Structure 1
């Protein structure tokens, strides 16, 4: 049978309570019994001494039968529970008033008697001559004749008569009251304990229900919950707060995974779209060359081949960008930090795009201050960043437009701004700009992968890129690189 935590705690508490109550009852009985024996023996401590002093029971010739009989008769009348025995110097019983067959020992251990006579702490139990192994409280005194000790007077204070009366439970009322009191207290403690356990484990049961109902697919938006105090004495409250934080964290991670999965789906769809267009064009022109090769003029054949090669380069460039993005996002590329001159890199990249800009009558402008500190970054990756940004700017800047690069030294970095005079990017398209492809004017802008690569490269450098507003210009991107002067 499976028990809940509350039931197990209650069962353990009940068992411990029964054990403690039983132990307490036994100790109570034991304590009462020892107290009774101590009182009886204390009150009768000098009884044997008075008897031995007032009655001549023995002389040098031995017992005096008449004195012994008179003593036993008087004691039986005064206190029937008292039994008197005469012992010789070795502890052997030489006189008694026991009925025939009731004397079961003919010798009494003298060690308790000596302890009693020396004034040891009461109660002291000695041998009961009318029992094989029983021990009872007693009073004892030495017997002397002619100045010499010839034996002991041994008085058992609670004899057979007391045992018979005690067996009838005539004196057990106080003990019964004590036992009933212990039982009632134990019952009340059990009820209080069960109520306390139910109250204490209530938060734990609520937390168990909450954990059982937890469904990551149905996790709501994270709720701001106060962090548990490190020195809190309520462990269940700390556990509840920890579970709430874990629930929020799992929900956030699940939403992030879901969002990333959606982004991957969109990226695959966008890449498929971007690949389908040049591949269809490439296939169409190659098919035209195959079917109409004999009827095409050399000029048409060269034009078709040029278009096919251009579409082939687009497919190759897209595949290369996709491969580069995968390598960046999966940690296959790690930046190698080195110092280099950013103005020299900008001028080298301008030379790369000079012919393209002239062909479209676009002006390339660079604002390079005289003293630009050396930056610390991966030269090849930063070259890729500037190449992608300039390539996007040139492709989306109309003829007779302008593309500008501005370097601005700061306290510990160099800010880089790349802007164009194109149509810019509408506000609804700016969300997730660096994580997916986007469109301008209804046409897909194929620089989506390029911007995502830029974003990832700068992330590897611990930097970020922003799209900022610059009056009179189109799309303006800015980022910063660490300057050598900031390193110590």
Structure 2
């Protein structure tokens, strides 16, 4: 837990930056020291380029019979006394050391590679390093010149320009001054760079920290919190960098979650109201049914045949009402939970309207009502579930007949639409009161004026109609028209070409 709290993105970036900065400073120091060393070697080699040639001009070094050891020793002693940094060697043509002035035990090689000497004499780019006879593996800058006797090459003068004494003195000076200065300068640069980098990282990652806080608040407070975070999210979403894109994505996500949360809350509220209304409307007919049956039982001997028959008819009507509501509730549950899926087919909607009219002819005649089809010619074929759409028309016509007074008219109008057929079902009844229109398609509606047998109940019919049309990608709405009662409109999609 402690590591998790410490290892924030800002801190991890800072640690990585510090390590990279130290590595870069170390590499820079190494390169600087190396470049400084190479520069010093080149300067020394250029300044002393003619030293070996000057020594080779001394005619006393060689005699026809070989080296003049006395002259060689005298020259070497004088040169190394004047410049203790140099070490002078006389080489044979094969690179073997013929003469030298090294203290006993200091000489580690008996010959020197000739390739660097040839490169130097040919004018190659400096610095050029050659073998150091006083080291088994070291290479140092040098000066070299051919040694001639009688006009013929007899060997080489080989001068190491940074000998043992120079190395010892340079090591002491580097330890005392140069290395210390270099390290202190690198440390100062690293410290300043680290401070600047940490400040820069803090500024760069500040939007990310603010976004993280907004996410945490959203996590703890839920979908209600984005409203208070709107200014912060709007500011973080400006720009085109990765953090702005992340802020935009989070803003869209919170809006979508908030919308879904509101929809779920509304759906839950509607469901609660649905259950409450169903419970109430089941209790009313059940109470009436129980009361009439109890009356029949208690007064069986004192009731006349006419009274007994009337009580039984009322009880039967209440029983039908309960059965009808239970059936609608079962059907709505199947639609709500996806048990029923529309099986679409192509059919003529005008033919279906005529079939449904035939089902209600007797009911309409009994109430002296007129069923009127208003079907435009040339209607396209629709693609839908035939049984479900029949149920939609049945529910709408059933409600219209039950709530239209005697002598009224129920009309079904079909008109071609841009993507199918527009359907309008209207009546000349009293219409739906304003207080019931808001939740007309989300909860059961029971209008006043129901008959004693319970057939005047609107029940869940409109809710079922809405769910069926939603499964078909459509919707139903209540519209206002002069001289009309309840007017419902919806649309069905046309059949697609095979």
Cα distance in 1 for residues equivalent to 2:117 and 2:380: 109
What secondary structure does 2:72 align onto?
A: helix
Aligned counterpart in structure 1 of residue 35 of structure 2, from 27, 31, 34: 31
Q: Which moved more, 1:367-376 or 1:310-319?
A: 367-376
CA change 1:412–1:190 in 2 (3 A) is: closer
Aligned counterpart in structure 1 of residue 58 of structure 2, from 40, 45, 54: 54
- Say yes or no: does 1:466 pair with 2:498: no
Write out per-residue CA displacement over residues 55-96 of structure 1, whole angstroms, 9 at most, x where no aligned residue: 331223222133213422442354232221222334333322
Residue in 2 that maps onto 1:351: 358
Task: Give how far 1:106 is off.
Answer: 3.7
Trace 1:43-442 onto structure 2 (pairs within 5 A): 43-169=47-173, 179-214=183-218, 215-216=221-222, 218-219=224-225, 233-369=240-376, 372-410=379-417, 412-438=419-445, 440=447
Normalised to the residue count of structure 2, the TM-score between the two structures is: 0.87
| 8 Å contact kept, 2:445–2:460 | no
Write out per-residue CA displacement over residues 361-420 of structure 1, whole angstroms, 9 at most, x where no aligned residue: 333333344555544433222221111111112222233433333333445533322222
Cα distance in 2 for residues equivalent to 1:281 and 1:263: 27
Normalised to the residue count of structure 1, the TM-score between the two structures is: 0.89
CA change 1:439–1:447 in 2 (3 A) is: closer
What secondary structure does 1:201 align onto?
A: helix
Write out per-residue CA displacement over residues 305-344 of structure 1, whole angstroms, 9 at most, x where no aligned residue: 3222222221111111112112222222233333444344
Task: Give how far 1:474 is off.
Answer: 1.7
RMSD: 3.2
Cα distance in 2 for residues equivalent to 1:341 and 1:167: 105
| 8 Å contact kept, 1:219–1:251 | no
Cα distance in 2 for residues equivalent to 1:104 and 1:374: 108
Cα distance in 1 for residues equivalent to 2:178 and 2:163: 22
Write out per-residue CA displacement over residues 227-285 of structure 1, whole angstroms, 9 at most, x where no aligned residue: 9999x740001001111111111111111111111111111111111211222222223
Q: Which moved more, 1:297-306 or 1:311-320?
A: 297-306
- What number of residue pairs does the alignment pair up? 486
What secondary structure does 1:417 align onto?
A: strand
CA change 1:419–1:104 in 2 (3 A) is: closer
Residue in 1 that maps onto 2:490: 479
Cα distance in 2 for residues equivalent to 1:473 and 1:301: 41
Write out per-residue CA displacement over residues 137-192 of structure 1, whole angstroms, 9 at most, x where no aligned residue: 11122323344433322211122332333233189866765554443333222222
CA change 1:344–1:83 in 2 (3 A) is: closer
Q: Which moved more, 1:206-215 or 1:125-134?
A: 125-134
Unaligned residue ranges in structure 1 (runs of 5+)? none
